[in-house]
Structure 1
């Protein structure tokens, strides 16, 4: 364990991996050749560094003499700059120049220098050597510390890198707007020069030289420092991957090491008999891994040992895990049949357990669950060979590093001193990927099988940038609000420590760690009065925050363990025990259970007795009827809310509050807290309510196969009677079921929180999974043949064979299937999810409703969910309620195009959803982002009021999806002028529109013919249609292809479909709804980024598959229908459509809310202008003659002419721009925003169309033709 106090440099945060100190002295590493330092290529870099060293030593001596002559109260700013810092900087290639203070948003930033002439040059801030970089100057000017000033300046400007120094400490800082922890590189030149540390000065030279920084703002992302930083992030990813592999390897090595050791007969016997289940064995192996990880981090950071050097030496040489790491890293070690290292490691663990045996060595008391004596019950008394133990530790200690171009492979040590606690989250990923198994064949073997656990929990490690953004928009406002109008330190401290933060699906604690850091920093700022408090103050404040403010729940016990370990590491302070966390970090299903005890008054909901697959419907009907009568009879009796009951609840709530406030200064404090908490779980009043809640919830999960199941009467008996044998049996049954199903009753688990109305802040990235058993995922770790079956039919056939092949697996499958349907019954029938229990339920939507309910009246919730929460029809009730109640603070949408979540599809869109309970007059929106840093572009962020949303989406109150404020303003203008197609709220439907899905490709497949019969008509699929074109594509055998120009110019050509349908069936479908021999249809599947989004066209009478939809119009005049077709195919209409199409499904509810000119808005001149052009565009083949005849045209079809068609369409687009009330510049914007705002503008409209035409014609032809048509209309050249 190298002492961190003797090393004259430190890497705080993740600017650079500490291994860079090895890379910097390598000629293979980028930027380390003489010419990279602005030297002649023949020069020797070592000589230049030696010369700089000599000059620095001389200047240092002169500087020290100048300091001696200054008064004690002089902070030495001038001397530090002129005698030391600037001369040294000039040796490093700088030409520092003084600069004036800069004002940004009414805040002054008195950065002293630029690295050279020019405001775009990187900032350099030099203060006096008698002022700490993290201390505010005694004069109070500037307002914050030097470090804080530079960091804030970088965060609020386009500068990416800066240097701050007081002459002694030199720091490199980077813009860290989305980072919640201190981040910098520091070299202590006082220690380097006084200690004659030439090698460390060489590292300083190689990292701080002027050539490392940007030349200006424009090339900041290309400078060497940024290259090193990005390499660090990439290497961090590689190290994470290696650590994941290492954890997997270590667990399997340990598991098999224990099972194989000849002295572990008892362990093997218990595993073979099933007394020890694979999951239980696995959990203990994980606890061992967690202990090792914790000690590796704590030892590397010297968080454990006494200042006494002899005690430190004894621990390091005889007890430390680092000792085992060093042994495992030796080139050769082999199995010798000894197990003394395991015995020694158990002794090390005992030094930190509840008995604090390490006191004699000056070790900090850890106590806590992590080192509890019962945590390794199965393996503590077992043996493991030294060889197996060292191999496991080696897997956690080193990784293989590939140098430049994959060459020069090296074995590198994982640096746990710089270990980011969030790395535990990446370990969590791999742990949830596996199902543990112990094979009981001839030789016991423990193995981790790739399974569905992670998929079935919907768990994905959240990128730090997203976590930071959520903290910024959710927690920071809560912190700021708490401090309003408070004056004293004690008031502010109490206010901050009263904040309660919860993640209802906490996983490994990524969000909770970030929240604890942020709130800890705010607390440290209050306590110290410093804008940038020191690490010691932040660490102590973070521990206090973890103890007082942090709550978490997760369904997976392994993730709960991981979360605790992460919080223990983050909050550990030398000399203090590990915090007690059992009362705050809990295992349970956040979505299943009672949220408010008031629901008990109403009895058990009748939805609990709705039959699902596996239930007896007759029994279900009988139970539902009986329960309904009981609710009527017993509902008038006030059993649940008497003064006595309320007093009992107040008492156990107060007890929970007192437990939370209990100090944790000593190990005995923690033990006392733990014992008091455990006692509270057996409090008679609390346990009575717990059992009542379990019975209420269990009613939804018990198979309805017997009429002896509990009903509302049982609930009342349990409340009002002394427990009889029958009642007690029911209580025991439901309490057992509660443990099995992880029921979680928020009001009982955290009563002190709900006494205050809820949490101050909810954060998280909940699972995004359907509440429906996914067969493929279930069998992934259980039966590979079933999981990998070719299709659903084959899978079902294999499942049907399970009674013979594997009856135990069949039973497990049936139970899992029933559990999933029972959870669905709870979600739909419990009245907990009144706004989101709609359609095919996804957990993200019901988590969203849960998060909203969990916050206090002044609280705030921020979660990451699919963007469908704001745009999908199934979520419209929830989102509409947010809008109507002004509870939506912000919605920030991201596309996963750049792989923010590498594990999920790049097409997925997700959002940061920020909700409140206090009215928010306007909501901040951003859409189509690919990285949080894009939020710094003000053009991408816009606001919408509830009135705006009601104007644009009045039926659903869902969100439009604008790229920029300009998109929002133009769309708002259009909606203010033009009504929507079908307003369900006002019942105004000017065109008399209705929709029809004609034939379902699967359900109606029996009606399809493979070849044409005499009375059959083609079955069109949407991919065969395009705007004004019913002959877009045709089938050739089984493949579809675009129709050729020659084919389209042949007026007799008709497309060949894949299937045909009897005309009588088509007539039956349309009977009473449509009497024309032509149809108006549109594509159901589309995207906002396609060449065109809204694809509507007229086509001859035919069948239409479900990838397309029919639009049936009650207006009987064909020339008006032609106007409707033209409107729906116009660029203006398509522009608005793109603001609505958040996904790929162009659903009815989207189409209904699009702005369409009503029939009465057209003049006779408009109708003639439009319909004549539509006729020429549509009537290009004889099969569309019925439409032409209905239009009064008796001639032959118009021959397909691409140039003529382009002009006709351009004239229609220009016409509709005028009818929609646009200006020429607004039309220019719709065609191409960059034509108005420049190439860097973040919005796009018809980029794919533009790129296609640039490639085909060498110009954006549509733009030219449409604007020319506009101009000709303006001049009168084209009569309107």
Structure 2
């Protein structure tokens, strides 16, 4: 944490003594590097350039606080190309259709126009007038924003991209001897003693680059990086010129909270001069005693009249305040000398801004009140020694100010109001869920607290001990908790975040808010029509239930130009789990999306340079709607053969579809590992039943691991809303089909299912089919779930959880005893499941009264594997897969032993050739 200067010099830190030899070692380390301002690629590995500043900030400060990560140059450069290049292509091709019609009507009079296909095409074939137009009209007006700029990685990349384009266009004009541009360059050279690259960079930084970040420290680093990148262009000290004033291009504030549009009439109404005649209306008290309200007029004093006169001089309308602010900012940017005057100008701008912000915050407060949002003050229950019921109160202006809102319509009014929004947005926003994280909070106060490895019970004990001995920490914890509810309600109810709540079958699906989702929606509001966005976000944007409305927004109101998914196996983002997947997404803010290029599960950022290309897949909206009509999520297809296989699977209805003439099903969970921890026993006890968790099962097996907890049966029945006295038969007392919740598409297998024995409770890491179906039907369903074919399908969709949302998207045949494949699947599944006395009743249901686990259960590994291969073959045949298609499916399970995959493939070949499995 930050140590203030006074505390550092006069506090307990003054007693710290550091020996000189440690400083000598530190200086030796610094001397071992070449400290350079050269940021060109291909430099020495021991050379430190401005990018190092950003790396250090993101890695050691921003990442810990906000889940923001240092973005590698390959990604920043790619997204700059996808946005800036497309803007210039649009400008270069503007009017093409008109010129084409003119040419077709009079070919001899009007030459055939050229439609440029790429930036390289422009740089190679643009004529002089087009180069001049781009250099002098188009590029100076381009506005590029990073609303979560951090240390400025995307801003620096945007500057470099624009500089490269401008330099190339100037070179093209020199080759064409295009006089207007050459004269402009000569004129600028005479004004500057610095090299051309220096003042071109300066021009770009002041005219094109905008950034916002919630951390003021981050914006300072971003400005410093831009300054250093600029200075790097000077070849000698005497070529240095005053640095550009970009204080009002890169600002700090909360990008997600603030006004994007300002009602000037409402502003002017709020912005009244002080000292007006006041009216006091009394209700209750003395007025109530008299039987009516009392209204008292209070005439202002002489001092108040004087204050009113002075205030009227400053109380300007919204438009006047904007004009004055912009005039002073322009003056500030142009100023190059007279530091005292410059400071005075800056101070005046801040005064105007603070005056406006106060009113804008009032307008935002009214919006909170209009939505009925209250402040939830966390409290402490001293008797229980834990958090009490929050106390609700009306939100105040102080609460709004604490959010540090960034009022886009005011701060960047020239772009937002006059131009309709930014031309391009390039960003890598935070990826954190917006909710309290107790472990993360207390980690700062105790070395005993660990984020992942610590058991929940141990953490709760440590948390209670910390709070008990430190009342200040308790108050800090309560303040932390109080900071979330009202903001959460704002994000869920504000009109600008209408796409944060998933709506499935007409019903709202409650999911956690995530900052990346909020930024994804906010970017569209900040872009002008036909503007471009490039954003780095988690893969949940195309898989998660909570992103359903965002996908609908992207499909219906934007044109997706590329979606490239990486798995973080090569640590592209340090500090992020190696199996985590993220997306480099680009779109145009207009039209709609029918199809888009995509690649999934890639590992080499170098592949971005050739995307989209021959290896890209074309994902169509039609296919997405068939795979997931309600949520519009789509799978991670690796090649065109995947799409071919998926279409075959789609011959059967999705599991979530409710059909009139066949069985349907629903899912359920029982006990929550966190919320219900109080009723769990750590050892067997009389009348206690084992608690089954996800890790206790494997395919067709329920004893993969031993139980860790037990639950008293009566307590469990009460928790499950049963009447203990009536002793009615409950779900837990019968055979149930279950599947693991926690999993991953990079595991050996992903969908893991079995039949549970009667008289066991289940944790939320184990989901069950809740619908009462015949036992043989459940066995057929488990056979399908455990097949490679269905596992392949779900692996293309999920990340870390096999939840109901994904299960309902599986295309599953609704088999009955009338189907030829039903009995063969049921019998094989029963033999695999029925390996103990607990399953004798199941075996008797399938094979007759004399069947037991000893007569029909399969326990020998080779026999079990043969039977599982036969089930896989039968399922592949159900979906009408070819040998090549099934072999392809098997190849996507690299962690499954090759012998198992080979045996399964051979079994299917025999089935296709002979028509039988024997």
Is it true that 1:753 corresponds to 2:404 in the alignment?
no
Q: Deviations over 1:328-379 (max 9, x none)?
A: xxxxxxx9xxxxxxxxxxxxxxxxxxxxxxxxxxxxxxxxxxxxxxxxxxxx
Shift in Å, 1:1166: 2.3
Partner of 1:667: 336
Rounded to whole Å, the distance in 2 between the matches of 1:1104 and 1:1006 is 15
Which of 618, 633, 636 is 1:961 aligned to?
636
Partner of 2:481: 817
Which of 1219, 1229, 1232 is 2:888 aligned to?
1229
Shift in Å, 1:750: 0.5
Paired residues for 1:36-51 under 5 Å:
none
Paired residues for 1:688-727 under 5 Å:
689-693=359-363, 695-696=365-366
Distance 1:967 1:1261, change over 3 A: same
Does the 8 Å contact 1:548/1:661 carry over to 2? no
Q: Deviations over 1:928-968 (max 9, x none)?
A: 22221234485763221222211112221123222334323
Which of 643, 650, 656 is 1:982 aligned to?
656
Distance 1:942 1:989, change over 3 A: farther
Shift in Å, 1:554: 1.2
Is it true that 1:554 corresponds to 2:193 in the alignment?
no
Shift in Å, 1:689: 5.0
Which of 734, 737, 742 is 1:1080 aligned to?
737
Is it true that 1:1181 corresponds to 2:836 in the alignment?
yes
Rounded to whole Å, the distance in 1 between the matches of 2:593 and 2:230 is 35
Where 1:1247 maps in the other structure, the secondary structure is coil
Which of 567, 578, 601 is 1:928 aligned to?
601
Larger RCO, structures 1/2 (Cα 8 Å, 6+ apart): 2
Rounded to whole Å, the distance in 2 between the matches of 1:259 and 1:1168 is 78
TM-score after normalising by structure 2: 0.73
Rounded to whole Å, the distance in 1 between the matches of 2:688 and 2:803 is 29
Shift in Å, 1:710: 7.8
Paired residues for 1:855-870 under 5 Å:
855-870=527-542
Distance 1:987 1:475, change over 3 A: farther
Does the 8 Å contact 1:786/1:798 carry over to 2? no
Distance 1:799 1:825, change over 3 A: farther
Which of 804, 817, 820 is 1:1148 aligned to?
804
Shift in Å, 1:1029: 2.1
Paired residues for 1:219-258 under 5 Å:
none
Does the 8 Å contact 2:700/2:755 carry over to 1? yes
Which of 808, 811, 833 is 2:497 aligned to?
833
Does the 8 Å contact 2:697/2:704 carry over to 1? yes
Where 2:483 maps in the other structure, the secondary structure is helix
Rounded to whole Å, the distance in 2 between the matches of 1:398 and 1:824 is 50
Does the 8 Å contact 2:377/2:392 carry over to 1? no
Is it true that 1:1098 corresponds to 2:728 in the alignment?
no
Where 1:832 maps in the other structure, the secondary structure is helix
Distance 1:1155 1:583, change over 3 A: same
Which of 1178, 1190, 1193 is 2:848 aligned to?
1193
Where 1:553 maps in the other structure, the secondary structure is strand
Distance 1:557 1:739, change over 3 A: farther
Shift in Å, 1:417: 4.7
TM-score after normalising by structure 1: 0.54
Does the 8 Å contact 1:767/1:843 carry over to 2? yes
Paired residues for 1:95-494 under 5 Å:
399=29, 411-417=32-38, 419-429=48-58, 433=61, 454-485=63-94, 487-493=129-135, 494=137
Does the 8 Å contact 2:701/2:755 carry over to 1? yes
Distance 1:819 1:988, change over 3 A: farther
Rounded to whole Å, the distance in 1 between the matches of 2:852 and 2:606 is 59
Paired residues for 1:1027-1046 under 5 Å:
1027-1034=699-706
Rounded to whole Å, the distance in 2 between the matches of 1:468 and 1:753 is 24
Partner of 2:283: none
Shift in Å, 1:1088: 1.0
Does the 8 Å contact 1:1019/1:1061 carry over to 2? no
Shift in Å, 1:1015: 5.5
Where 1:860 maps in the other structure, the secondary structure is strand
Distance 1:813 1:833, change over 3 A: same
Shift in Å, 1:1192: 5.0
Distance 1:887 1:421, change over 3 A: same
Rounded to whole Å, the distance in 1 between the matches of 2:739 and 2:644 is 28
Partner of 2:149: 506
Rounded to whole Å, the distance in 2 between the matches of 1:575 and 1:474 is 31
Partner of 1:577: 242
The gaps in structure 1 that reach 5 residues or longer are 1-247, 261-267, 273-277, 279-334, 336-386, 402-410, 434-452, 605-646, 712-732, 1039-1057, 1233-1244, 1255-1259
Shift in Å, 1:1111: 0.9
Partner of 1:568: 227
Partner of 1:1001: 673
Shift in Å, 1:821: 3.6
Rounded to whole Å, the distance in 2 between the matches of 1:1120 and 1:569 is 69
Distance 1:1155 1:1098, change over 3 A: same
Rounded to whole Å, the distance in 2 between the matches of 1:810 and 1:560 is 32
Does the 8 Å contact 1:771/1:823 carry over to 2? no
Shift in Å, 1:989: 9.6
Where 2:71 maps in the other structure, the secondary structure is coil
Shift in Å, 1:794: 2.0
Partner of 1:1246: 893
Shift in Å, 1:996: 1.4
Where 2:484 maps in the other structure, the secondary structure is helix
Rounded to whole Å, the distance in 1 between the matches of 2:547 and 2:712 is 36
Partner of 1:593: 258
Is it true that 1:1119 corresponds to 2:728 in the alignment?
no
Shift in Å, 1:492: 1.2
Does the 8 Å contact 2:420/2:528 carry over to 1? yes
Q: Deviations over 1:835-875 (max 9, x none)?
A: 22653322222122212221111112222222223322222
Does the 8 Å contact 2:662/2:814 carry over to 1? yes
Does the 8 Å contact 1:787/1:795 carry over to 2? no
Shift in Å, 1:1093: 1.1
Paired residues for 1:903-922 under 5 Å:
903-918=575-590, 919-922=592-595
Rounded to whole Å, the distance in 1 between the matches of 2:82 and 2:423 is 13
Does the 8 Å contact 1:762/1:862 carry over to 2? yes
Shift in Å, 1:908: 2.6
The gaps in structure 2 that reach 5 residues or longer are 40-47, 96-128, 176-181, 186-193, 270-315, 379-389, 502-509, 723-727
Where 2:29 maps in the other structure, the secondary structure is strand
Paired residues for 1:739-818 under 5 Å:
740-755=402-417, 756-778=419-441, 791-803=459-471, 807=472, 810-818=474-482
Rounded to whole Å, the distance in 1 between the matches of 2:742 and 2:205 is 48
Which of 906, 912, 915 is 1:1267 aligned to?
906
Rounded to whole Å, the distance in 2 between the matches of 1:781 and 1:1105 is 31
Does the 8 Å contact 1:1211/1:1266 carry over to 2? no
Shift in Å, 1:557: 1.6
Does the 8 Å contact 2:757/2:838 carry over to 1? yes
Rounded to whole Å, the distance in 2 between the matches of 1:592 and 1:1077 is 52
Q: Which of structures 1 and 2 has the bigger CA Rg? A: 1
Rounded to whole Å, the distance in 1 between the matches of 2:392 and 2:770 is 54
